[in-house]
Amino acid sequence: DGGITQSPKYLFRKEGQNVTLSCEQNLNHDAMYWYRQDPGQGLRLIYYSQIVNDFQKGDIAEGYSVSREKKESFPLTVTSAQKNPTAFYLCASQSGGRSYNEQFFGPGTRLTVL
């Protein structure tokens, strides 16, 4: 089955540690996205990538980093510089650049920093 996988589903880290969230897609999509969701709030864009080896900052990129070395993979690193990293993180992908193309979402990773 084609889709987006995110692992792990739940992640616990100590304050001050960097942590990397995995996102893999087998939909052959060019574009990939990372969002952050806080309780009772909408989605905020962290980073996005429209092609391999290229990515752009979203609205809340500070304290995060990404790489896009393969079309299928778009890992997100939450660094110790991110002041409030506890949140639900969603990865998405999209085929092509048409405005009407939908984004497909993974199941999310819930990160808790202790």
Partner 1 sequence: GNSVTQMEGPVTLSEEAFLTINCTYTATGYPSLFWYVQYPGEGLQLLLKATKADDKGSNKGFEATYRKETTSFHLEKGSVQVSDSAVYFCALRETSGSRLTFGEGTQLTVNP
The contact set with partner 1 (CB under 8 A) reads 4, 6, 31, 33, 40-43, 45, 48, 50, 58, 90, 92, 94, 97, 99-100, 102-108
d(CA 16, CA 8): 19
2/40 with CB nearer partner 1:
40
State the minimum distance, in angstroms, from the CB of residue 89 to partner 1: 10
3/70 with CB nearer partner 1:
3
84/99 with CB nearer partner 1:
99
Biggest alpha carbon–alpha carbon distance for the chain? 41
State the minimum distance, in angstroms, from the CB of residue 44 to partner 1: 8
State the minimum distance, in angstroms, from the CB of residue 45 to partner 1: 6
16/42 with CB nearer partner 1:
42
State the minimum distance, in angstroms, from the CB of residue 110 to partner 1: 8
Strand 87-94 with 103-105, pairing: antiparallel
Nearest Cα to Cα of residue 51 among 64, 35, 37, 32: 32
How many other CB atoms sit within 10 Å of the CB of residue 111? 21
Per this entry, what is the length of the chain?
A: 114
30: amino acid identity, one letter? D
